[in-house]
């Protein structure tokens, strides 16, 4: 069974709150009604709900302040806040002043309220999980995709860039970000053009993609070939023919750094040992270590069945 | 007269697309989706057309993608993906009426791209594909003048005909600018990389090139060789002289040039066949 979604209802109108709570509970939500406004933020911070409904029918400055503080903290701003507004005032509502994610007009039409809640939850997932730099889905989606793949003939493929730190140091973060965006797009296109799958961005220079096992190596080869082609454009003629560029190491000595390459660790998910997400990451780390032994781009696949 | 120059420059700012040959579009349409050979054919079609190439490069260099500068069609295909490139290409407008000089200019541009490739490979220069792309785009300013300033374009043709001057001299006289400058404005406003802009801007004045002199010299030489070969039509029948500065930059010799010309003649036979194919694709589609 799906875990119950937890909903916090902020209203000073106890009759309305009671009414809403009953309807929402009948839909399977776990509802917490808060009418003592001083305690609202503390309650949300200590035990964050999945969604907040704020009663703004009588625009209460204290409730507005609560919504604003929540949205000002990037950790809690991912919780969708739905405002209940009086129909007469919807048009004059100051959306900039009060950063709601959505609203429902009073008197409440319940089917609409339920749909708005579902939509807000979906939307926040889409927007907040995607990596802002590359727009690929992030860790929540990645974990879901991997869990869905366990026990099936799929492969989880971890990609990262060799010698990315010195590249950033020498050429600057904005160049580095350009490289990350390009790699993201290379992986995304390779996965899609092979027939589909999942591509995600774990963070930094760590990426992951999932494809059916029989396509995993072909996609890895495409990603490596395309990355090699694209990277050639980033360096000058001298660096290209040398195969390295110069950087200062931690001791301030000049050091030859190989041109950018990538390492891919391929972990099949159909074997007995792949029972949970953590095991996939553990095997990936072992494979990554092997792939990293080479300065050239390469992939390593785990063929052990146990 | 300077007003005209300002007007053209201004009109570049809201130029987001240019028409292409209907044959290219019907060819693209006929490619089946989602197999590797059709992806390669699509890349070949895009790379043969100055307008499609410029549009694809505009998209891949647009700030919203945030990639580092991309200057070749094959890299653009890798980064944008086959589906994006195909949808973009198929959304192109086409020339309503197929005049002879439209096909002529298309052939001239494609031929110059091929010639630049032959030269760059023969001289073992770096970034051959970038050089070919720059050569393919070198006359895109002519397309802009023809499309955006159709009346001036007709006047221009009449002028060079009566006065017996080159199209570039005619442009300077009538518009106070030339297709090289106009093409460079477009390339700049479409965020194309400097290594493509400079050869477009300086292909008639190699000495003005500052950072990409070799590329510019190759594009200039390719342009001259294609005009001399009689392949396609760039708007007039004049064959400009090879500029000494380009000759020296490339370390050219009579013997080397003869080899290049020989190889080029062979390649142009294939290019002509491809061009006939595109033109007949157009006829079958209408």
Q: Over chain A, what HEC string results?
A: CCCCCEEEEECCCHHHHHHHHHHHHHCCCEEEEECCHHHHHHHHHHCCCCEEEEECCCCCHHHHHHHHHHHHCCCCCCCCEEEEEEHHHCCCCCCCCCCCCEEEEECCCHHHHHHHHHHHHHHHHHHHHECCCCCCECHHHHHHHHHHHCCCCEEEEEEEEECHHHHHHHHCHHHHHHHHHHHHHHHHHHHHHCCCCEEEEEECCEEEEEEEHHHHHHHHHHHHHHHHHHHHCCCCHHHHHHCEEEEECCCCCEEEEECCEEEEEEEECCCCCCCCHHHHHHHHHHHHHHHCCCCCCEEEECCCCC
Question: How high is the pLDDT of residue B286?
Answer: 46
Exposure letters A160-179 (e unless 16+ CB within 10 A, then b): bbbbbebbbeebeeeebbbb
CA proximity to B21, closest of B270, B227, B281, B235: B281
pLDDT tens, residue by residue, B201-221? 999 999 999 999 999 999 999
Q: What is the pLDDT of residue A288?
A: 85
* Residue ranges, CATH 1.10.3210.10, chain B: 100-285
Q: Which of A121-135, B95-109, B264-278 has the highest mean pLDDT?
A: B264-278
A51 min Cα distance to partner chain B (Å) = 32
Quickly state the pLDDT bin for B91 (edges 50, 70, 90).
confident
pLDDT value at residue A146: 93
- Closest B-chain CA to A135: B65
User: How near does any CA of chain A get to the CA of B179, in Å?
Assistant: 28
| pLDDT value, residue B259 | 96
Nearest to residue B116, comparing CAs of B270, B263, B275, B273? B263
Smallest Cβ–Cβ distance between B67 and the set A181, A192, A229 belongs to A181
Q: Provide, rounded to the nearest whole percent, the portion of chain B with pLDDT above 70.
A: 95
Q: Which tens digits make up the pLDDT trace of A217-251?
A: 999 999 999 999 998 888 887 888 888 888 887 78
Window 53-112 of A, Cβ < 8 Å to B: none
CB contact under 8 A, B83 and A185: no
- Which residue does chain A place closest to B85, by CA atoms? A189
For residue B212 the two structure tokens come to 């990409």
Inter-chain touch A185–B67, beta carbons under 8 Å: yes
* Residue B283: predicted pLDDT: 61
Domains of chain A (ranges, CATH numbers): 6-128 (3.40.50.2300), 139-301 (3.30.70.270)
List all residues of chain A from 222 to 261 with a beta carbon under 8 Å from chain B: 226, 229-230, 233-234, 237, 240
Decide: B207 and B220 in contact? Cβ < 8 Å: no
First to last CA, chain B: 41
Instruction: Give the mean model confidence (pLDDT) for residues B182-195.
Output: 94
In the block, tokens 């009671």 appear at: A18
The fold of B100-285 is Hypothetical protein af1432 (1.10.3210)
Nearest to A230 among B66, B78, B126 (CB): B78
CB contact under 8 A, B68 and A189: no
Average pLDDT of span B44-65: 91
- ipTM rounded to 2 decimals: 0.84
With contact defined as beta carbons under 8 Å apart, do A176 and A164 qualify? Answer: yes
Nearest-CA distance A114 → chain B (Å)? 35
Contact status of A186 with chain B (Cβ, < 8 Å): yes
Predicted pLDDT of residue A1: 47
Say if residue B124 is exposed, middle or buried (CB neighbours under 10 Å; 0-12, 13-18, 19+). exposed
Other CB atoms within 10 A of residue A156 CB = 28
Q: Which residues of B touch A192 (CB under 8 A)?
A: 81, 83
CA distances from A84 to A17, A29, A43, B87 (A): 11, 18, 20, 42
Strands A244-248 vs A254-258: parallel, antiparallel or unpaired: antiparallel
Segments of chain A with pLDDT less than 50: 1
For an interface test with A, give the residue of B61, B68, B126 to mutate (most A CBs within 10 A): B68
- Pair A101, A79: CB distance under 8 Å: no
B41 pLDDT higher than 70: yes
Q: Which residues of A touch B39 (CB under 8 A)?
A: 193
Q: What is the mean pLDDT of chain B?
A: 90
- pTM score, two decimals? 0.83
**pLDDT greater than 90 at residue B89:** no
């Amino acid at each position: 069974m799906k875990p119950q979604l937890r909903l916090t209802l902020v209203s000073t109108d106890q009759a309305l709150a009671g009414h809403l709570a009953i309807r929402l509970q009948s839909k399977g939500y776990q509802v917490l009604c808060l009418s003592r406004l001083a305690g609202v933020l503390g309650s949300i911070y200590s035990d964050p709900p999945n969604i907040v409904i704020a009663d703004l029918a009588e625009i209460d400055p204290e409730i507005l302040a609560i919504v604003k503080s929540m949205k000002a903290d990037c950790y809690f701003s991912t919780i969708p806040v739905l405002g209940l507004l009086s129909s007469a005032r919807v048009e004059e509502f100051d959306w900039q002043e009060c950063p709601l994610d959505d609203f429902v007009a009073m008197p409440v039409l319940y089917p609409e309220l339920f749909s708005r809640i579902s939509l807000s939850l979906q939307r926040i997932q889409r927007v907040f999980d995607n990596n802002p730099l590359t727009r690929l889905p992030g860790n929540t989606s990645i974990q879901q995709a991997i869990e869905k793949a366990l026990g099936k003939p799929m492969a989880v493929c971890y990609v990262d860039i060799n010698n990315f730190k010195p590249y950033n140091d020498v050429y600057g973060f904005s160049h580095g970000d350009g490289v990350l965006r390009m790699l993201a797009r290379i992986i995304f296109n390779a996965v899609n053009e092979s027939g589909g799958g999942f591509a995600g961005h774990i963070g930094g220079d760590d990426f992951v993609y999932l494809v059916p096992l029989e396509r995993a190596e072909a996609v890895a080869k495409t990603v490596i070939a395309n990355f090699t082609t694209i990277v050639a454009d980033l360096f000058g003629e001298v660096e290209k023919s040398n195969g390295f560029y110069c950087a200062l190491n931690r001791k301030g000595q000049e050091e030859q750094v190989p041109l950018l390459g990538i390492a891919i660790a391929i972990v099949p998910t159909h074997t007995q040992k792949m029972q949970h997400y953590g095991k996939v990451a553990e095997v990936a780390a072992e494979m990554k270590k092997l792939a990293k032994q080479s300065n050239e781009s390469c992939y390593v696949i785990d063929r052990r069945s146990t | 007269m300077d007003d005209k120059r300002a007007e053209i420059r201004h009109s570049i700012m809201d130029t987001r697309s240019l028409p292409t040959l209907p044959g290219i579009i019907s060819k693209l349409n006929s490619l089946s989706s989602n197999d590797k050979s059709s992806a390669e054919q699509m890349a070949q079609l895009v790379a043969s057309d100055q307008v499609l190439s410029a549009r694809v490069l505009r998209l891949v260099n647009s700030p919203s993608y945030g990639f580092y500068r991309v200057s070749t069609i094959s890299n653009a295909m890798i980064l944008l993906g086959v589906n994006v490139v195909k949808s973009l290409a198929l959304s192109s407008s086409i020339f309503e009426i197929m005049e002879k000089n439209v096909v002529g200019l298309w052939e001239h541009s494609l031929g110059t791209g091929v010639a630049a490739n032959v030269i760059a490979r023969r001289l073992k220069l770096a970034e051959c594909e970038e050089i070919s792309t720059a050569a393919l785009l070198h006359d895109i300013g002519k397309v802009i003048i023809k499309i955006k300033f159709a009346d001036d374009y007709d006047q221009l043709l009449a002028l060079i005909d009566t006065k017996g001057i080159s199209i570039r001299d005619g442009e300077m006289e009538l518009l106070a600018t030339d297709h090289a400058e106009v093409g460079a404005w477009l390339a700049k406003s479409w965020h194309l990389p400097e290594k493509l802009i400079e050869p477009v801007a300086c292909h008639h004045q190699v000495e003005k090139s500052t950072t990409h002199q070799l590329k510019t010299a190759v594009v200039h030489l390719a342009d001259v060789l294609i005009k001399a070969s009689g392949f396609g039509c760039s708007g007039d029948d004049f064959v400009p002289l090879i500029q000494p500065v380009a000759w020296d930059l490339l370390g050219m010799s009579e013997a080397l040039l003869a080899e290049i010309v020989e190889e080029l003649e062979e390649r142009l036979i294939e290019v002509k066949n491809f061009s006939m194919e595109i033109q007949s694709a157009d006829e079958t589609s209408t």
